[in-house]
Structure 1
Amino acid sequence: MQLNRRNFLQQLGFGAAGLIVASSLPATGIMLPYKTGKLPRNLPETQGVMPGGLLDFVNTVESSKLNVHSLMVVRHGQVVAEGWWAPYAPQFKHTLYSLSKSFTSTAVGMAVAEKRLTVEDKVVKFFPNDVPATISANLAAMRVKDLLTMSTGHDKDTTPALRDATDTSWVKTFLAQPVDHEPGTHFIYNSGATYMLSAIVQKLTGQPILSYLKPRLFGPLGIEGEDWEVSPQGINTGGWGLRVRTEDIAKFGQLYLQKGVWNGKRLIDEAWINDATRFEVQSGGGGNRPKENNDWQQGYGYQFWRCRNDAYRGDGAFGQYCIVLPKEDAVIAMTSETADMGAILDAVWKHILPALRGTGDKGTQAALTKKLTTLAFAPPAMGSTSPMAAQISGKTFNLADNSLQAKSVTLTFGKDGCIFKLRDNRGDHQVTCGINRWTEGSTTFPTLPLRITNTLIPGENNTTVAGSGTWQDANTFVMMWRFIETAHYDTVTCKFDGNSVQVEFQKSLTKISTAKDQRPVLTGKVMA
C-alpha cells in the first residue's frame, strides 16, 4: 500500500498546498516580508528562478538516494520552493548536528557587540579554576578567535575526550588536552572548541546560549520551540544538538544575507557577519576531491564554511544545510540523512544555482508543484496481514536477560495498525505503527543511541516518531520507526517461532556508515 500523502497531511492538520511552492499566490505584487512568524511565499518565476532547475534538483537527490528530508529555497526574501518528504513535515524540528555551530558563533558575536569579550581574549582567562597546574605556552596563547576558526592548535578533535569525561567538567577536560601547534596555525575540525565558546558565553552572561539567544535571535525571527542538548554540567553543547525547523534555518540564513538586519532592526553587527563568513583559515576535508571541486577546502570563517561559487554555509553531519548565496540573493535550507554530503552540494551547483541565475531548464510550474506535493518516503510495504497476528496479538513475551534491561515485549494488532510495547527497568515504552502506512505519535522508547553520549535535551521525555509495520513473511513482522525530529530511524524486526520471539534493532546509521548497532537481539517466550 503506497502512502497517501494527502490523507497523511490531513491527519496532521495540513493541506497539501501548505507544503509546496505557493501556487495560489498572485503571480505579481510585492509582499511585505517578516511581519509574521513565516517567510513570505511567491512563485519561482516571479523572482527570476527557473522551476525546471528546482525540479531537476529534487529528481537528482531522489534518484541518487541522498535521503533529503526537507528543502526550502528563498530568493529575494521570498520562499519560492519548499517540500518535506513525508513523514517529515514543516511543523517538526530537526537535529542540526554541526549546523548548530553557526548559531553558537552568532551568540559569541552578540556578546562581542555587548562588549562582554573580544575575539583576542585568551581562553584561559575565563576559567582560572579549571586550567591545568602547568599551562603550556600554546594553551596560554589560545584566543577566542582560535576557537571560532577551528585553529586551536590541537592535533585532533577534543570531542571524544569531552564525551568520555565522567569525573571532570568538559571545560577542565578541554583545557587539559595537549596543544600541539601554535594556535592560529593549524586547522582541525574540533567540536570541543565550539563547546568552549558556549561555555564562555554562559560564564559571561549567566545563562546558557539557548536562553541568551531567545530574546536576541530566536524571538525576533519568530523561531519557537527550539531546544539544545546540554553537557553534564548544564552547558549547551554548542557544536551540535540544536533543533529548529527547516523554515527557521532559512530565516537564519536570510538574516545573514541581510547583513544582520531583520524587520528594520539590527540583530547582528555587519562587521561580525563579514568576519564570520569570510576566509579566515584554510580548511580541510572533503575526501580526495581536488580543491576546485571541494566545498570543504574553500576556507573557514567563524563557524561557517566558505563554498564554491562565492557562497558560504553552515552545515551539519548527514546533510543539514544553511547555504547563503549573496550574489544570487538566495538562501537554501535542507535537512537530510545522507552518507554523501558533497553529492547534495554538487546537485545544488548543477541545478539550483543555474535556476537562480535564470538559466538552464525552464520547466513548468505545474510539474514542480506536482512533485513537491507528493514528496514522501514510502514505508516498507510487503504483506498486510498474517495468521500469526491473531495468534500473538496482546500476548506478552518474557525476555531473556539482556544489556538493555528489557523485560518483556507485547505486540497488539488492530485492523490497520500495531502497538509495539517494551517494558524495561524504567517502565513501559510503546510505538504505534500503521500497517504499510505511517502513523505519527510519540514514544518514550530510549533513543539515546541517536545522540552523542552524555548529552540530553533537558526535560525531553517523549520523542516524536512515525511508525510503519509490514509482514515480510508469515512469521516476520518488520517495523520502521522514523524519529522525525532527528535525522535517523530504526528498523525493528520481530521473528516468531511458535511461542518464541526474536527482536532485532538496526539503526539507520549502519546503512550509510561504518557505525555498528550495539543493541543485542532480544529473545523471549510467551508467558505461561
Structure 2
Amino acid sequence: MLAVQFAFHHWLKSRRFTAVAALTLALSVRVSAANGAERDRSNEWLTGTPEEVGLDSAPLAEMFDLVRERGIPVHSVQIVRHGRLVLDAYFYPYSAGTRHDVASVTKSVTSTLIGLAVEKGFLPDVQQSVMSVLQGRVAANLDARKRKLALEHLLTMQAGWDCGFEPREARLFEMRRSADWTRFMLDLPMIAEPGTRWAYCSGNCHLLSAILTQTTGTNALAFARRELFAPLGIHDVVWPADAHGNNHGWGDLQLHPRDMAISEAWVRKATRAHVERTSNSDHYGYFWWVKGKDYPGMFEAVGRGGQRINVWPAKDLVLVFTGGGFEPGDLAPFILKALKSDDKLPANTQAQADLRRRIAEAAQSAAARPVPKLPSIAGLISGKTFNVTANALNLSAVSVKFDGSAEAHAELIWDGHRESYRLGLDGVGRFSTNTLVNLPCNTQGQWLNDNTFLLQLDLVGGINCYRFNLVFGDQGRKLSVKLSERTGLNDEQFDGTASP
C-alpha cells in the first residue's frame, strides 16, 4: 500500500503526537495489511477500522461515490489517526507498489535535508548568507541586498530577487533552459530587501539543493541515502538532477521510502508560520504551508496535481493524497463529516462493509466497450510518421498504427527518445513504461469524428495526463495537434507533415 504517513519519535502512551514532537515522514509502498487492527511489521503501524479512532465509515464511503460520479483523478487516499492507519485506498489506474512523483512536496523534503545538514554540522544555521556558503561563486547584480540574502530567506520564499512574481513560474522554466541553474539563480537582480516580500519561487529550493551539494560533499539524494535511507533499508528512490549533479530541489522526487526522521527543534521551526501573508489565506514555514484559523495548528506539504500531506495535531490526524490533477479540498468535507469523536465509536459493520467494497471497486478498471468501426482515414494514416513543429513538450514526431484489434500502437519522439505505447480503443487504457520518468503510463484512444483521433497519455504516478487531439487532413498528409494537460502544464497547438 502507499501509506504516506507522518509519525513521531515521542509518542504519548495514548499514541497521540504533539506539534513539537520529532517528525518522521514515511512514504511507503507495501502490500496492504488486513482490515483489522493488525500490526504491520514493516513500519510498526497499527491498522484498524475508522470507528476505532472516532471516524464514521459512512461519509468516507460517500467520498468514493463523489470520486466515481465526477471522474476525479485521485490516485490514493490514506488516513492515520491515533497511530492507526484506518483508510488506505488506491484508484485505478494508479496501483500499490508504484513510485509516485510527489511534485512540490519535494520542497518539504528539501527543507528536511537542510535541517539534517544543520544537525550534522554541515551548516551552522539557516542565518548563514547564501554568498558565504557558496564561496567561490560569482554573482551578477551583486548588491548589499543580495549580500544579506540568507538560507532562511530561501526557505521562507522571501529571497527578494526577481523570481516568483511572474505568472506560471516562468522563471523556473528559464532556469531549466540555462546552462548552469545555480548561476542563473545567483545572477537574478534583487527587487526587494530579503525577508520583506513573499514570492513562490521554485528556484530557491534548487539553490538550497546546490548548497547541500557544496556543504555535504555529495548531492541531496546521496546525502539522503547516506543519512536517512540506507540505515532504514530504503533503496528505490528517484530524484532527477541538473547537469551539475544537483537534485531538483523543488520537485520531481519519486518515492516509496519508509522513514525520514528529523529533530524536534527543526520540526518546530519548519512548521511554524514565518510568513503571515502569502498568495492565499495560509501562512508559510520552511517550505511547509501552515493553515490559518479554520484549522489551527495544521500544517501541510503541497504539490501540483493533488499531492498533499496534512498533519493536524489537535485532532491527532494525518491525511495523505496523491493524484493526477485534482483538489484534495473537494474530498475534505467528507473526512470532516466522518470526524465524529476523539474516542472510539460503536462498530458499524454495514458501513465498514460498504467502505471496503468501494475501496475494492476504486482499484478496478472500467469494463471494456465494443470498439466502433474505424473511419476510412485510419487506414490512410496508420503507421505514418508525422514530423511536428516546435512545441513546449519537445515532441518531434507522432505515429499511430491500427491493426483492426481493440488496441492501437503509438510512437512519439519525445525529448529525442522513441517512446512506444499500446492504446486501448475499447475504453480501457493499456499500460506501457514511459522511459522519461521510468514509471508505468496508461494510454487509450478513440476516434471523435471522421478525421480526429484523441490520444490520452496518463503518466499516472508521474502526475501528468496529456490529451492529444490529432486532426488529420489533406488525405492523411497533414496533421494538426491540439495538446492539453490536465494540471494545466500544457495548452497549445502545433502542426505536422507526413514523412515521405
TM-score by length of 2: 0.79
* Native 8 Å contact 1:36 1:222 kept in 2: no
Counterpart among 170, 191, 195 of residue 184 in structure 1:
195
Question: Aligned-pair distance for 1:416?
Answer: 2.5
Question: Aligned-pair distance for 1:366?
Answer: 1.1
Question: Aligned-pair distance for 1:202?
Answer: 0.9
Deviation per residue, 1:285-336 (Å, 9 max, x gap): 23xxxxxxx4xx2x21111111224211111122210111222322211112
Question: Aligned-pair distance for 1:391?
Answer: 6.8
Deviation per residue, 1:322-351 (Å, 9 max, x gap): 11122232221111233646545x536633
Deviation per residue, 1:137-191 (Å, 9 max, x gap): 2211121112112222236428644532455522222222233333223222221
Residue equivalent to 2:75: 69
Amino acid at match of 2:467: T
Deviation per residue, 1:220-270 (Å, 9 max, x gap): 55654221222232211211111224xx5xx66xx6xxxxxxxxxxx3111
Provide closer, same or farther for how the CA distance between residues 285 and 402 of structure 1 changes in structure 2, counting only shifts above 3 A. Answer: closer
Question: Aligned-pair distance for 1:93?
Answer: 1.9
Structure with the larger strand share? 2
- What are the residue-to-residue correspondences of 1:112-511 with 2, within 5 Å? 112-117=118-123, 118-132=125-139, 135-154=142-161, 156-157=163-164, 160-161=170-171, 163-165=173-175, 169-219=180-230, 223-245=234-256, 248=257, 267-286=261-280, 294=281, 297=282, 299-307=283-291, 308-338=295-325, 340=327, 342-344=329-331, 346-347=332-333, 350-351=336-337, 353-354=339-340, 364-375=351-362, 384-388=371-375, 392=379, 395-399=382-386, 402-403=389-390, 406=396, 409-413=399-403, 415-422=405-412, 426=416, 428-435=418-425, 436-444=427-435, 460=436, 462-473=438-449, 476-495=452-471, 500=476, 505-509=481-485
Q: Does 1:521 align with 2:495?
A: yes
Secondary structure of the structure 1 residue equivalent to 2:135:
coil
Distance in 1 (CA, whole Å) between partners of 2:418 and 2:112 is 41
Of 383-392 and 465-474, deviating more is: 383-392
Residues paired across the two proteins, number: 458
Residue equivalent to 1:81: 87
Distance in 2 (CA, whole Å) between partners of 1:361 and 1:508 is 46
Deviation per residue, 1:383-429 (Å, 9 max, x gap): 61315489729953253663367456241335332212346894743
* Native 8 Å contact 1:43 1:80 kept in 2: yes
Of 109-118 and 417-426, deviating more is: 417-426
Distance in 1 (CA, whole Å) between partners of 2:268 and 2:388 is 58
Amino acid at match of 2:52: T
Distance in 1 (CA, whole Å) between partners of 2:73 and 2:347 is 24
* Native 8 Å contact 1:390 1:413 kept in 2: no
Distance in 2 (CA, whole Å) between partners of 1:19 and 1:373 is 14
Amino acid at match of 1:128: Q
Distance in 1 (CA, whole Å) between partners of 2:402 and 2:53 is 52
* Native 8 Å contact 2:469 2:483 kept in 1: no
Amino acid at match of 2:97: Q
Of 406-415 and 97-106, deviating more is: 406-415
What are the ranges of 5 or more consecutive residues in structure 1 without an aligned counterpart?
A: 1-17, 256-266, 287-293, 445-459
TM-score by length of 1: 0.75
What are the ranges of 5 or more consecutive residues in structure 2 without an aligned counterpart?
A: 1-29
Distance in 1 (CA, whole Å) between partners of 2:328 and 2:376 is 41
Amino acid at match of 1:304: W
Question: Aligned-pair distance for 1:203?
Answer: 0.6
Deviation per residue, 1:112-161 (Å, 9 max, x gap): 11111111211111223323366322211121112112222236428644
RMSD of aligned Cα (Å): 3.6
